[in-house]
Structure 1
Amino acid sequence: MTKAAVLLLAGSMALAACASDEKNNSSGSGSSGSSGGDLKVGIAYDTGGRGDKSFNDSAFAGVEKATKDNGGKYTELSPNSDASNRADLLTQLADQGYNPVIAVGFAYGDVIGDVAKQYPDTQFAIVDSSALDADGKPLGASNITGLQFAANEGSFLGGVAAALKTTTNHIGFVGGVQTPLIQAFEAGYVAGAKAAKPDITVDVEYISPAGDFSGFNDPAKGQIVAQGMYDKGADIVYAAAGGSGIGVFQAAKASNARAIGVDSDQYQTVGDPTLQPVIMTSVLKRVDNAVDAYINDFVDGKIKGGSDIVNDLKTDGVGLATSGGFIDDIQAQIKEYADKIKSGEITVPTTP
């Protein structure tokens, strides 16, 4: 992946808003867990908090595994309804001695640098954003690590799968919010579909415009947008829309069609077993692996901060889920394209 591509991904987001629970209230309170040991990990979620069956949940899984394996405890906090207290959440965790502190989502990029400078002995990680500013300089006191993902590469494989499985030569893409990173999902998906089937029709629509994050937590609108695509002839729709993806799955079920999930293996996490048959595959972004590996490196004293870790196809940081067996018959073709991306023969775009 080129440096330019990485920078395009940096500072962007794959915000996965979600269903809330008792931990996710307007005061930004959270819960904690413990498995013994001295490790204390703080996790500050993106909008909506844990329970989204996708992005935030995947980050939590990484924290949970790392604290279990290494012995230790964690505390989790969620932003208030307008997400105006992100800096306060990071400050609260650092104040209470949590180290490292994991910020989930690019939206923390505007505040994490200032907080990190106040706590130079605390290591911070930010998911889906860079530890460096536009000039390539560390955001904080060289104590921030960016955990990034080549989501465009995984989405390319999703586009290949959709093109190979469509029976109408017509597919769709529903983005949650029109931001640079979600556009990278779109760019990869469309490029993959066109590579496998140049004459394919790909409908693209976003639930909300840039700056309006409601598109990640509006299943009803997700269903309406996707239903419009199915009604026009699309038989597979990729949902890069966080919690709104449930609506896309519901539209697929109503249309006797298929959908593609995102971030986590949504066939396994969707919750409603009646929706499983429509989830053909999911474009995986292994936030859990990235967070787990980061914490393990922290425990081993390998984290220095002031740099980014890019998780791509080469590192198994992205890929496609195979649950349900719906794409078992095209694994050879998917591997062929994946190998070409890994070798550099195919350069996956990051912008539509």
Structure 2
Amino acid sequence: MTNIDKRRRTLMKTGGAVGIAGLAGCISSPSDSGNDGGDGSGDGSGDETENTSSEGTDNGSSGEGGETTNVGMVYATGGLGDNSFNDMAHMGIEQAKKEFNVQYQNAEPDSATDVESLQRQFAQSSSPSYDLICCIGYVQTNSLVKNAGQFPDQNFMLVDSVAEKESGDLVKNVANYTFKEQQGSFLVGHLAGQLTQMDFSAGKGSTNPDEKTVGFVGGMEVPLIKKFEAGFKAGVAHASEDIEVKTAYAGTYSDPVKGKEAAISMYDQGADIVYHAAGGTGTGVFKAANQKGRFAIGVDSDQSKAKGTAKFSNVILASMVKKVNKAVYRSTKNVIDGNFKGGSVNTLGLEQGGIEAVYGADLGSEIPDDVKSKVEESKQAIIDGDIEVPTKPQQ
């Protein structure tokens, strides 16, 4: 009997187990899991990570034909169907299911207060016993530190944060995945900074080079989203110090109306291009760009192709793709291969293939080659260390 089986048997004897269906309306089966989102390019295989403590490599058996690996997915608030962050995570577990003998259960918290209970229900479950619980989003950190301590034999992974004890030590049964969002944001900022100075038209959008103004719409005003803002502003400044960058935070990741209102205000004040890092709220940015005949830049997935946002591909210049799918896929595969190591921090940037700037499916071919060349030069300079991208917005 494994340690996990022993622990769950103890829980059942003491009445500690709670059925996964106990939080009505928050947990769905894979068939109810919403849109895939994303660009479909990241299966997570073969990636190298920059580690402070390595979680292992993707070598070893694939797990095909063996015992079923059960994974619990606790998504970020905003849920599936955001065509962005959560849908990229879902893509990763779907890829693992296609390649290996994996089954998974989705849990979508209505608010941050649901997270602790959902994590705990997965950890306490004995039918099935979950081999890995994926915690998607920084809002899960405090709850995870508590739950991981109470279930030391349970494997967890965390996206966008690091699970640390008060002592500063890493929690031993949590594999942490963080991203260098500022690097990809720099590239789309450099793109926007170049185009706003040009007389450029494509699809339904156009620029006004007399204004030289762009915008950024964030979700919650937290350090993570500030990294997107910081990188974007630095990329714009790399094109020209004379460009104005307007900034607004919607205070939510799931309100397209607020996203549209923020972007409309920016377009009305002369912005040609607005980049969002706001999850489902960002759909409103695309609606605003479409209404005003301007441009937008997506985030997390290739939003010119994602199911819920592809209809705005005629105004989406590019997207800053954050491959959360790779983190979910990789951690699942490591469990299957026996390579899972908790107490690790895996940081993915441009060099590791965890971050990428991709041009819009409809508008990419319209962007001048010299603009693309300069963006590519910036990418290589970041990888080579010649450009150090800030993680906090410069005043």
Question: TM class, shorter-chain normalised?
Answer: 0.7 to 0.9
Residues 156 and 192, structure 1, Cα contact 8 Å, conserved in 2: yes
Larger Rg computed on CA atoms = 2
Q: Is the counterpart of residue 331 in structure 1 residue 361 in structure 2? A: no
Q: In the alignment, which residue of structure 1 is the partner of 2:114?
A: 85
Q: State the shift of 1:237 in Å.
A: 0.4
Residue aligned with 1:261, SS:
strand
- Structure 1: stretches of 5+ with no match in the other structure: 1-22, 209-214
Q: State the shift of 1:133 in Å.
A: 4.4
Listed as ranges, the matches of 1:226-305 within 5 Å are 226-271=263-308, 273-305=310-342
Give the partner amino acid of 1:28.
Answer: C
Q: Find 1:29's aligned residue among 2, 16, 27.
A: 27
Task: Give the distance between the partners of 2:98 and 2:231, measured in 1 at CA.
Answer: 35
Listed as ranges, the matches of 1:50-129 within 5 Å are 50-79=80-109, 81-96=110-125, 97-129=129-161
Q: In the alignment, which residue of structure 1 is the partner of 2:35?
A: none
Q: State the shift of 1:270 in Å.
A: 4.8
Task: Give the distance between the partners of 2:165 and 2:314, measured in 1 at CA.
Answer: 43
Task: Give the distance between the partners of 2:169 and 2:334, measured in 1 at CA.
Answer: 22
Q: State the shift of 1:85 in Å.
A: 2.2
Task: Give the distance between the partners of 1:327 and 1:263, measured in 2 at CA.
Answer: 21
Task: Give the distance between the partners of 1:272 and 1:121, measured in 2 at CA.
Answer: 40
Task: Give the distance between the partners of 1:190 and 1:124, measured in 2 at CA.
Answer: 34
Q: CA RMSD in A?
A: 1.9
Residues 262 and 285, structure 1, Cα contact 8 Å, conserved in 2: yes
Residue aligned with 1:152, SS:
helix
Q: State the shift of 1:48 in Å.
A: 2.7
Q: In the alignment, which residue of structure 2 is the partner of 1:341?
A: 382
Residues 55 and 287, structure 1, Cα contact 8 Å, conserved in 2: yes
Q: Name which structure has the greater RCO, CA cutoff 8 Å, separation 6+.
A: 2
Residues 131 and 308, structure 1, Cα contact 8 Å, conserved in 2: no
Q: State the shift of 1:196 in Å.
A: 1.5
Q: Find 2:237's aligned residue among 194, 202, 205.
A: 194
Q: Percent identity?
A: 39
Q: State the shift of 1:200 in Å.
A: 1.1
Q: In the alignment, which residue of structure 2 is the partner of 1:310?
A: 347
Give the partner amino acid of 1:77.
Answer: A
Residues 78 and 280, structure 2, Cα contact 8 Å, conserved in 1: no
Task: Give the distance between the partners of 2:26 and 2:68, measured in 1 at CA.
Answer: 25
Q: Deviations over 1:184-227 (max 9, x none)?
A: 1000000011012221111111112xxxxxx2111111111101
- Equivalenced residue count is 319
Residue aligned with 1:147, SS:
strand
Residue aligned with 1:161, SS:
helix
Q: In the alignment, which residue of structure 2 is the partner of 1:20?
A: none
Q: Is the counterpart of residue 176 in structure 1 residue 219 in structure 2? A: yes
Task: Give the distance between the partners of 1:259 and 1:89, measured in 2 at CA.
Answer: 35
Task: Give the distance between the partners of 1:131 and 1:186, measured in 2 at CA.
Answer: 24
Task: Give the distance between the partners of 2:375 and 2:218, measured in 1 at CA.
Answer: 23
Residues 145 and 307, structure 1, Cα contact 8 Å, conserved in 2: yes
Give the partner amino acid of 2:271.
Answer: A
Task: Give the distance between the partners of 2:170 and 2:293, measured in 1 at CA.
Answer: 50
Change (3 A) 1:248 1:187: same
Residues 128 and 147, structure 1, Cα contact 8 Å, conserved in 2: yes
Q: Find 2:174's aligned residue among 144, 155, 158.
A: 144
Residue aligned with 2:219, SS:
strand
- Structure 2: stretches of 5+ with no match in the other structure: 1-20, 32-63, 199-208
Task: Give the distance between the partners of 1:204 and 1:227, measured in 2 at CA.
Answer: 12
Q: Deviations over 1:295-334 (max 9, x none)?
A: 1122122221001110101111111112332547233211
Residues 281 and 327, structure 1, Cα contact 8 Å, conserved in 2: no
Q: State the shift of 1:73 in Å.
A: 0.5
Q: State the shift of 1:82 in Å.
A: 3.3
Task: Give the distance between the partners of 2:368 and 2:24, measured in 1 at CA.
Answer: 44
Task: Give the distance between the partners of 1:107 and 1:274, measured in 2 at CA.
Answer: 30
Residue aligned with 1:125, SS:
strand
Change (3 A) 1:318 1:135: farther
Task: Give the distance between the partners of 1:294 and 1:334, measured in 2 at CA.
Answer: 31
Give the partner amino acid of 1:53.
Answer: N
Residue aligned with 1:160, SS:
helix
Q: State the shift of 1:291 in Å.
A: 1.3
Q: State the shift of 1:274 in Å.
A: 3.8
Q: Is the counterpart of residue 203 in structure 1 residue 246 in structure 2? A: yes
Task: Give the distance between the partners of 2:246 and 2:158, measured in 1 at CA.
Answer: 32
Residue aligned with 1:315, SS:
coil
Residue aligned with 1:321, SS:
strand
